[in-house]
Homo-oligomer: A and B are copies of this chain.
Amino acid sequence: MPRNPIEIPDRVEYLSVLDENGRLDPALDPVIPPDLLLKLYRGMVLGRQFDQRLLSLQRQGRIGTFPPITGQEAAQLGAVSVLRPSDWMVPSFRETAAEIWRGRSLESIILADNGFNEGTRVDADLNNLPVAIPVGSQVLHAVGLAWAIQYRHKDDVVMAFFGDGATSQGDFHEGLNFAGVYQTPSVFVCQNNQWAISVPRSRQTRSKTLAQKALAYGMPGIQVDGNDILAVYLAAKEAVNRARAGGGPTLIECVTYRLLMHTTADDPRRYRTDDEVALWSHRDPLVRFEKYLTEKGLLNPEKVASTLEAVLSQIQAAVDGAEAQMKQLGYPLDMFDHVYAELPPHLADQKEALVRELSLPGEDNNHG
């Protein structure tokens, strides 16, 4: 065969189920039971409202910097909602809604945002990793977990989250390549929110889609409308089922948008136009899902109001709970905990020195 195009076995597809007005393509209906649909709706509202509350706390100086998720609720919840509790979720740092869905308490998030190490504690009954701030690095941990699951002949799967920017990191490449080689039960969910701080998707990589990067690893890739929770759910369900059945990993690109700032330390007006933000606001995943649920008769103004009310009081309770907890926390000596299984002698000495220091008059105020 002197000169021929090469046939690539794996497929790369685009998927959307709800159009921008929330109208369903019946052929693709994932047929989600009503109670789950409403649970997803509540999760989206909670994610959105929690962002709002954290923003005001941050402005009041009652918490530190944090990364909002507004606009990405569908991309997060459509994906994690297909997992079982025994499956594993490996987040980056912008999956608040997904983490909450997976059982992380709002209190712990507030604690973390307030600079308490206790805030990233992971409860014993949750198969979630804590947030990973070094972009892309967590992808490899997800592959290791999936390898171990396979080794133990369990049928759990591991879902890893990361952003569009993360796809440029070497660890993303090495992780997906390992997953392909070992055919691990992995689902890689890329939250393509169009921006990596100030760097637009178009400058992050020249490939037309992020989904097609799957071809480099011999795995299927799918690009979904990430503001369409049914499409995300459908794609995630297929990928998770395939992984669970031993069919290997999948890369899912959720095309979505970060409607707010990168973190509260960021000013998006420096690098993107209001028009662009306005355009994407019209594709708001929450509005779209509301339309769909209303059409479907599952939602009405009263239900919307009561959901909001319930969510707001849940948030209020969490804020109160967290602020109460924080009064009990922050004793400096705790910083020596959990560095090693057992405190080595040199750290015992250092801790001892701090104990002596704290016992001195006027020292506590010296240490915020």
Contacts and interface: CB of A to CB of B under 8 A. Distances in A.
B212 A207 contact: no
Given A168-B177, A205-B177, A218-B207, A15 B2 contact: yes
Contacts of A346: none
Nearest to A203: B181
Interface size class of A (residues with CB under 8 A): 35 or more
B203 A8 contact: no
Contacts of A174: 168-170, 173
A207 to B, nearest CB: 4
A279 interface: no
Nearest to A210: B216
Nearest to A234: B3
Given A2-B15, A14-B6, A215 B219 contact: no
B223 A205 contact: no
Contacts of A203: 181
Given A14-B4, A16-B1, A181 B204 contact: yes
Interface in A6-27: 6, 8-9, 11-17, 25, 27
Nearest to A28: B2
A255 to B, nearest CB: 12
A171 interface: yes
A217 B207 contact: yes
A48 interface: no
A211 interface: yes
A14 B8 CA distance: 12
Contacts of A13: 3-6
Contact of A2 (B27, B171, B208): B27
B208 A8 contact: yes
A5 B16 contact: no
B218 A206 contact: yes
Contacts of A218: 205-208
A216 B219 contact: no
Q: Which 9 A-B pairs have the closest CB atoms?
A: A170-B170, A206-B218, A173-B173, A180-B206, A213-B216, A216-B216, A207-B218, A2-B25, A6-B12
Interface of A: 1-6, 8-9, 11-17, 25, 27-28, 168-174, 177, 180-181, 183, 203-209, 211-213, 215-219, 223
30 contacts: A1-B16, A2-B15, A2-B17, A2-B25, A5-B12, A5-B14, A6-B13, A6-B14, A6-B209, A6-B211, A6-B212, A6-B223, A169-B174, A170-B170, A170-B171, A170-B173, A172-B173, A173-B173, A173-B174, A180-B206, A181-B203, A181-B204, A181-B205, A205-B218, A206-B218, A206-B219, A207-B215, A207-B218, A213-B216, A215-B216
Given A4-B14, A206-B217, 8 more contacts: A1-B16, A3-B28, A5-B11, A6-B209, A8-B212, A172-B173, A180-B205, A215-B215
